[in-house]
């Protein structure tokens, strides 16, 4: 039902603009998602939707926002889907706040998601704005918008990912330890990594680009032969020694995606394991692949993906290899900063978004101060009550709410409550 309105006689229009809006959200059933009730996405969607839910399907992503590929709808008074959030914002642009409206126009600059990952997503990267415009113009059926897509994943459970290229010293160890790489790219090219210094940044990037492009461009028959050779060697060596985490991961990925070049390229990437409450952020043109677990994800409003392995979807290997930054080193892991009692903020270096995590014990209360930009709220656990100057109502698991700019929110929990807020980055909103 619609959030109950408590509008004063004076200033009713302004108060009504600040009323929270319940949303009905879209779901994606990509085949890498967890099945039925094993999926957090399924459980949230079942609580958020009146639709009949098929518990035998994979539930991979819940989308919250305005992107046309997975729009959110305002909930009507009778509980049915009303207009899209994007349409409502177009008719109520002040709900975004002046700074957001001036910067990004009449739309949310961020897209909010829940992900439930049962098996690896593709090795992929997202283009920067310049490349996104070019790709969208050339192939609008593949690249559905012209925006960049920086993103951040905040672990809800233990969450595993590949992210960015490993440091130079580790790369040298990989080339020594994995003969199949040299067999694929050639000894002369592979051995270049032993002749460069991490201080010669441009030369280092050039060498890694050459080796990685040769690896990813290997023909299918050669790839099949080398992957089989790698698998057989690791199985034999596992009888004599304990395999490394990365080697065990490679064997796991080979079962999921047999004969895929992404299996071997895994050795080039950082293997990141996030604990619940830790976050990983990714800029444009950085290679990554989510592997397993459940997370809250936020990104610039885009669905542009360039893929090169660990997938049955169309590949664009040459585009991916040419667009990457080839920066080496372990990614920064955000643990969040406590901004007030029970609220932790995750602040990546991107203007479009930030995330607040509210862990509110039973019977406790807190306040989200008003900010000069819009927010989306997602309840993932528990029950409580939420109120603003314009509205008040109960909230529970699966509720998704649009919060207009300049709206202060008071929360009180009746059971342990876990709630996430996605909003525009505070550094942008309060910069001069």
For the annotated binding site for Zn(2+), the residues are 124, 126, 151, 288
CB-count burial class (<10 Å; 0-12, 13-18, 19+) for 178: buried
Residues 106, 110, 114, 115: is their CA dihedral positive or negative? positive
Cα distance between residue 161 and residue 269, in whole Å: 9
Cα distance between residue 320 and residue 182, in whole Å: 21
CA angle 156, 153, 48 (to 5 degrees): 60
Asked if 57 is an active-site residue, the reply is no
Cα distance between residue 114 and residue 103, in whole Å: 26
Q: Measuring CA to CA, how many Å separate 181 from each of 166, 185, 238?
A: 15, 6, 19
Cα distance between residue 423 and residue 279, in whole Å: 16
The helix/strand/coil state of 334 is strand
Q: Given the residues 307, 345, 385, 421, select the one marked as catalytic.
A: 307
Residue spans of beta strands (DSSP E) within 118-262: 123-125, 151-155, 159-165
β-strand partners of 350: none
Cα distance between residue 398 and residue 51, in whole Å: 14
| Binding-site sequence positions | 124, 126, 151, 288
Which helix (H) or strand (E) segment is 42 a member of? helix 40-48
The residues that are catalytic are 307
């Amino acid at each position: 039902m619609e959030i109950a309105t408590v509008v004063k006689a004076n200033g009713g229009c302004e108060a009504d603009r600040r009323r929270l809006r319940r949303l009905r959200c879209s779901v994606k059933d990509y085949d890498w998602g967890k099945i039925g009730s094993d999926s957090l996405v399924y459980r949230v969607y079942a609580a958020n939707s009146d639709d009949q839910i098929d518990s035998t399907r994979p539930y991979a992503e819940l989308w919250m926002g305005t992107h046309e590929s997975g729009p959110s709808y305002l909930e009507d008074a009778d509980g049915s889907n009303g207009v899209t959030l994007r349409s409502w914002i177009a008719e109520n642009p002040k709900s975004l706040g002046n700074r957001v409206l001036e910067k990004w126009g009449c739309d949310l600059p961020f897209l909010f998601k829940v992900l439930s990952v049962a098996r690896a997503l593709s090795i992929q990267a997202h283009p920067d704005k310049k490349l996104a415009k070019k790709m969208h113009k050339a192939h609008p059926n593949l690249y559905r918008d012209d925006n960049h897509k920086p993103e951040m994943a905040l672990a809800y459970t233990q969450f595993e990912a590949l992210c960015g290229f490993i440091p130079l010293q580790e790369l040298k160890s990989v080339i020594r330890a994995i003969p199949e790489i040299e067999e694929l790219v050639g000894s002369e090219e592979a051995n270049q990594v032993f002749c460069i210094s991490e201080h010669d940044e441009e030369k280092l990037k050039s060498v890694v680009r050459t080796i990685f492009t040769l690896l990813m461009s290997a023909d299918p028959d050669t790839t099949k032969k080398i992957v089989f050779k790698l698998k057989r060697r690791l199985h034999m060596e596992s009888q004599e020694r304990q395999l490394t985490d990365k080697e065990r991961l490679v064997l796991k990925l080979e079962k999921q995606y047999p004969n895929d070049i992404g299996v071997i390229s895994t050795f080039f990437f950082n293997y990141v394991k996030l604990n619940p409450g830790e976050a990983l952020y990714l800029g444009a043109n950085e290679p990554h692949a989510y592997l397993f677990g459940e997370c809250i994800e936020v990104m610039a409003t885009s669905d542009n993906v360039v893929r090169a392995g660990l997938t049955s979807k169309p590949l664009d290997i040459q585009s991916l290899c040419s667009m990457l930054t080839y920066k080496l080193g372990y990614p920064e892991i955000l643990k969040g900063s406590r901004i007030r009692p029970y609220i932790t903020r995750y602040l990546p270096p991107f203007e479009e978004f930030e995330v607040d995590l509210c862990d509110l014990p039973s019977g406790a209360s807190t306040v989200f101060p008003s900010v000069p930009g819009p927010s989306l709220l997602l309840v993932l656990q528990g029950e409580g009550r939420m109120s603003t100057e314009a509205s008040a109502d109960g909230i529970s698991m699966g509720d998704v709410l649009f919060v207009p700019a300049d709206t202060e929110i008071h929360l009180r929990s009746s059971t342990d409550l876990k709630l996430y807020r996605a909003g525009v980055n505070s550094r942008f909103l309060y910069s001069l």
